[in-house]
Amino acid sequence: MTALGKLVRTTAFRLTLAYALVFAVISAGVLGYVAWNGRHLVEQGMRETVDAEVNGLVDQFRVRGIRNVVASVEQRTRRPGSSLYLVTTFVGEALAGNVARLPTSVLNSAGDYPDTPYERLDDPDDVTHHAYVRVLLLPGGFRLVVGRDLAELNSLGQAVKRAFLLALVILTVFGLVGGFIVARRVLARIDSMTESANAIMAGALTRRLPLAGSNDELDRLAGSLNAMLDRIGELMSGLKEVSDNIAHDLKTPLTRLRSGAEEALRTAKDPQEYRQALERTIEESDKLISVFNALLMIARAEGGRAGDNMAQFDAAEIARSVVELYEPLAEEAGVSLFVEAPGSLRAHGNRELAGQALANLVDNALKYAKAADDGKAEPIAEVQVSARANGDGTTEVSVCDHGPGIPEADRERVLERFVRLEGSRTRPGFGLGLSLANAVMRLHGGSLKLEDNHPGLRATLCFPPPLVGATT
Instruction: Note the residues at the interface with other proteins (CB under 8 A).
Output: 279, 282, 286, 289-290, 293-294, 296-297, 300, 308-309, 321, 324-326, 328-329, 332, 350, 352-353, 355-356, 359-360, 363, 428-429, 433
Minimum separation from the CB atom of position 230 to other proteins (A): 32
Residue 90: Cβ within 10 Å count: 11
Q: Which is nearer to other proteins, 146 or 295 (CB)?
A: 295
Q: Which is nearer to other proteins, 42 or 297 (CB)?
A: 297
Rounded to 5 degrees, what are φ and ψ at 2? Answer: -75, 160
Distance between first and last Cα of the chain = 61
Taken in order 369, 371, 373, 375, is the CA torsion positive or negative? positive
Q: Which is nearer to other proteins, 81 or 307 (CB)?
A: 307
Looking from the CA of 427 toward its CB, the CA atoms found within 13 Å total: 16
Nearest Cα to 463, choosing from 363, 362, 359, 392?
392
Q: Which is nearer to other proteins, 226 or 321 (CB)?
A: 321
Minimum separation from the CB atom of position 261 to other proteins (A): 17
Task: Tell me if 351 sits within 8 A of 313, measured CB to CB.
Answer: yes
Q: How far is CA 420 from CA 383, 413, 424, in A?
A: 21, 9, 6
Task: Tell me if 52 sits within 8 A of 117, measured CB to CB.
Answer: no
Minimum separation from the CB atom of position 242 to other proteins (A): 19
- Residue 207 identity (one-letter amino acid): R
Q: Which is nearer to other proteins, 165 or 329 (CB)?
A: 329
Task: Tell me if 396 sits within 8 A of 461, measured CB to CB.
Answer: yes
Minimum separation from the CB atom of position 322 to other proteins (A): 8
Summary count for the chain: helices (H), strands (E): 10, 13
Minimum separation from the CB atom of position 275 to other proteins (A): 10
d(CA 284, CA 276): 12
Q: Which is nearer to other proteins, 13 or 430 (CB)?
A: 430
d(CA 36, CA 10): 39
Minimum separation from the CB atom of position 337 to other proteins (A): 12
Nearest Cα to 369, choosing from 332, 343, 344, 419?
332
d(CA 404, CA 456): 5
Minimum separation from the CB atom of position 348 to other proteins (A): 15
Q: 401 has which bridge partners?
A: 383
Q: Which is nearer to other proteins, 254 or 289 (CB)?
A: 289
Minimum separation from the CB atom of position 321 to other proteins (A): 6
Longest dimension (CA), the chain: 161
Q: Which is nearer to other proteins, 10 or 438 (CB)?
A: 438
- Residue 169 identity (one-letter amino acid): V
Q: Which is nearer to other proteins, 85 or 313 (CB)?
A: 313
Minimum separation from the CB atom of position 325 to other proteins (A): 6
Q: Which is nearer to other proteins, 405 or 433 (CB)?
A: 433
Minimum separation from the CB atom of position 280 to other proteins (A): 11
- Residue 353 identity (one-letter amino acid): L
Task: Tell me if 354 sits within 8 A of 417, measured CB to CB.
Answer: no
